Structures are given as structure tokens and as C-alpha cells.
Structure 1
């Protein structure tokens, strides 16, 4: 995805339009999931995701593969959009997984659905004990489906630091969830 090379028979505007379409189709779901994990609202996630792709459209000419790979650049834009959103709300404790049941629960058995809902509720309560940076890392990892290396690039950390942080975060979540039993 570093290059957006298309057929030479296309003019520049057509080529750029197709490249942006490809970017949107390829990354929309992952960007949306990452944002949804952070804002806990379908409508806000949709609005913020559209802001991300608007910024991508306006700033695509400034992208340099020498500075970062495209995915890291894209998620850095998404992170900045979310940070701007939180600043405007003056709330930093919002974290989205409230409707995780929709993402996880595909069981048909009512008992399994209830058990999954209870587990998800425990997870939501456990996530509230995390600091903003920890919630952001969880959102990058599980919402954005990013690798530790990519998270490290976005947050200007080492890959091993991200791995250790994720290990500690998951351990903290597990302890918190077990405490509720």
C-alpha cells in the first residue's frame, strides 16, 4: 500500500480518485473500529471516521513513505482526530466498547448470549480503570488491528515497550475482571 500506482492510461485526477477509493475501501472498517473503541457511539465514530478520510484526501500529497508506512500515517491521523474530539468535549474518560456485544456475540443460544453479555459488561467496567494512554493502546491493538510495531511508530515508543505495556494492560484487565467475580 506504499505505492498507489495505477494504469498510465488514466489521467492524474482519475488516478487520484481511484487511489482514494482504494484507501477508503481498504481501511474504512479498521479506522471505524479503532475510533468506535474510543468514542463508544456509532454516530460519533462515523462522523470522526469521515473526518479522518477527509484529512487523508486533503493531505495525501504530504505523505512520505520515508517517514512512516502508509498505515501508520493513516492511524496517526485517526488518533489526532480523536484527540481533537476529546479536547472539544473536555472529556477524557470515554472509552468505547459499550456495544461490543454486537461485535462479539454471534451465538444463537440465549444462555450463551447472556453469558457473553455478562462478560462484556465486566470488561467494560474493567476498561474504565485504565488510563487514557492504556485505553488508546488497547484501541489500536484490538480496534485498529495494528501490530505492536505499528503502534510503536504511532506513539513514538519502542516495539518491545508496546509489548510490555500490552502485557501489563491485559494483566490489569484480567485482575480487575476477576475481582468482580
Structure 2
């Protein structure tokens, strides 16, 4: 029976990861191509800065190459391991720069339609700022679940797979995160 992290991993993926762990350049390129978009989207939704998200994504994959030998398929899914590398790298950079994530309404969820009034545009900008303020008060795990579930549109099962957690744990984190967000908004309405 496959171990915990390997349970849902396709055979092809296991083989690619094993080859990458042995230093196979083609396998590393395959992993980069397979997971680049997911890691970039994860970082971008957290920091809202395109160039920084691109730079951090590149750094995450550099670290993947350096540390892939330490990845243990029996402990968690590969993508969960990559998300951990991404989150840790993002935290390091933001700490070094002594600032939190920046919200810039550039992505699809916040892009302003051409026909929208200036008042509606201002309200949308305030909504993004409010969301950022609330998210920064959640735990890192809660932030990840909310980002993946509601900003990136993944199902609970997909979030669980990406984070290497059981679906029940994701649902619990989501419930606690939404309750915390509700409480924060009641205390400090936007």
C-alpha cells in the first residue's frame, strides 16, 4: 500500500520525482513546468505584486533543485512540499524587507471593467484593502486555505491535496478562518 504522501500520486509523478531526486535535469524541468503556475498563483495571491511573485517563484524552484533530495514522498504530497518552500521563502523575503503582503488590484478577481463608475472602482479597491487587512490577521494555515479555496477556486479536496492535509482538516481550517474573519469584521468593519 502506498505511504501517506504517495497515496494520490500518479505513478508517472512518482517516477519523475525519483529521477529529479537523482539529479535528472529533464525530470527537474518537468516538475518546474508542471508546478510553476500553481506556485506563482499561490505567491501572487498572497503578496499581490507580479514581479516579486515571479522572482519568488523562480527562487522556490531554485530551492527545489537544491533540496529535492530531502523530499520524503512518504510524508506528504510533492505539491504540499513545494507550497511549504514557497511560503517559507515568501516569509523570509517579507521579513527581510520588513513589510507585509501588498494588495494591488491587478488580477482577474479585482480587475476593473471599463464601464465601471469611479465610485464602484473606489469601493472595489476598499474591498481589496479590507480583505487584505482581514487575511493578515489569520494564521498562515488559515490564509493558505482561504487563498486556495476562495481566491484560486480550488475545491476542498484539491486544497487538501495541495497542502498535504486531510479534507476534514481543510474544512475545519476553513470554518475557523471564516469565523475569525467574521469576528474581525464585526470588531472593525471596513
Same fold (TM over 0.5): yes
Judged with a 3 Å threshold, the aligned counterparts in structure 2 of structure 1 residues 122 and 5 are, in CA distance, closer, same or farther, namely closer
- Contact 1:127–1:135 under 8 Å retained in 2: no
Matched with 2:160 is 149
How do 1:25-104 and structure 2 match up within 5 A?
Answer: 25-91=33-99, 94-99=100-105, 101-104=106-109
Judged with a 3 Å threshold, the aligned counterparts in structure 2 of structure 1 residues 161 and 67 are, in CA distance, closer, same or farther, namely closer
Aligned residues: CA RMSD: 3.6
Judged with a 3 Å threshold, the aligned counterparts in structure 2 of structure 1 residues 123 and 106 are, in CA distance, closer, same or farther, namely closer
Matched with 1:111 is 116
Task: Quote how far apart the aligned CAs of 1:47 are.
Answer: 1.1
Any unmatched runs of 5+ in structure 2?
Answer: 1-12
Q: Which shifted more, 136-145 or 123-132? A: 136-145
- Contact 1:20–1:57 under 8 Å retained in 2: yes
Judged with a 3 Å threshold, the aligned counterparts in structure 2 of structure 1 residues 119 and 170 are, in CA distance, closer, same or farther, namely farther
Q: How far apart in 1 are the matches of 2:153 and 2:32?
A: 14
Question: For this pair of structures, how many residues does the alignment match?
Answer: 167
- Contact 1:2–1:69 under 8 Å retained in 2: no
Q: How far apart in 2 are the matches of 1:70 and 1:167?
A: 26
Matched with 1:2 is 14
Q: How far apart in 1 are the matches of 2:169 and 2:117?
A: 37
Out of 125, 128, 150, the position equivalent to 2:130 is: 125
Matched with 1:165 is 173
